[in-house]
Amino acid sequence: MLRIEGLEAGYGEVRVLHGISLEVREGECVALVGANGAGKSTLLRAVSGMVRVLAGSVWFEGRDLTRMPPFHLASLGIAHVPEGRRLFPEMTVEENLMLGAWVEAARRARAESLERVYALFPRLKERRRQLAGTLSGGEQQMLAIGRGLMLRPRLLMLDEPSLGLSPRLVEDVFSGLQQISVQGVSLLLAEQNIVQALSLANRAYVLETGRVVMEGSGLELLGSPRLREAYLGV
């Protein structure tokens, strides 16, 4: 579904990704794990066209995303929930969600999608008339994910959905992601919360300074002594 080959990307003169290759198959949940600054966010941003791609290619169902204007990706069914949530703070919860269904295909199913998102995150329904900027961190993250789901995406890319959340809220968010995954949406998840991410993921890639240093199934990596030593300190 998504195939990245030899991707090099960065900001200005600074190259952050040094030849990354990875793949997300239909219906799969793939985790990108690694320390802060390993290039997880940059990778997702390069896929979305938010960062300049210097070399390599990004294929989504046979189309080269690097040759497309960034706003085009949503209409292909790619939703990107960016780092820091990036909600529209001065708009209500419901307005944020409606904007998630901007592209034509999603707009037709907007009312139904809205109900689905509210079913997944009932808190959002309670706060539908509230400005997004006034939500708590956990609610904001749910809204960011919900806004991504309004697209009815085929591929949902999430950047650090657990960042800044209490352990209980992290559980909530990941159980939401689990449900989304079960519904057949492919997930590409960049996370520093390695245990949660690897438990959810079918497969995972470990990034270090812009390179893939390990890959394998979530459980494999979770059991890998090298990974446990490097990231979990046990």
- How crowded is residue 30: how many other Cβ atoms within 10 Å of its Cβ? 24
**Cα(209)–Cα(189) distance, integer angstroms:** 18
Nearer to another protein, 147 or 154 (CB): 147
**Cα(188)–Cα(231) distance, integer angstroms:** 20
Nearer to another protein, 67 or 86 (CB): 86
Q: How far is the CB of 188 from another protein (least distance, A)?
A: 14
**Cα(147)–Cα(23) distance, integer angstroms:** 24
Element (H, E) at 199: helix 194-200
Q: Give me the residues that bind another protein (CB under 8 A), please.
A: 48, 50, 69-75, 79-80, 82, 86-91, 95, 98-100, 102-103, 107, 147, 151
Q: How far is the CB of 102 from another protein (least distance, A)?
A: 5
Nearer to another protein, 42 or 196 (CB): 42
Q: How far is the CB of 116 from another protein (least distance, A)?
A: 17
Q: How far is the CB of 75 from another protein (least distance, A)?
A: 6
**Cα(97)–Cα(92) distance, integer angstroms:** 9
Nearer to another protein, 127 or 147 (CB): 147
**Cα(138)–Cα(147) distance, integer angstroms:** 14
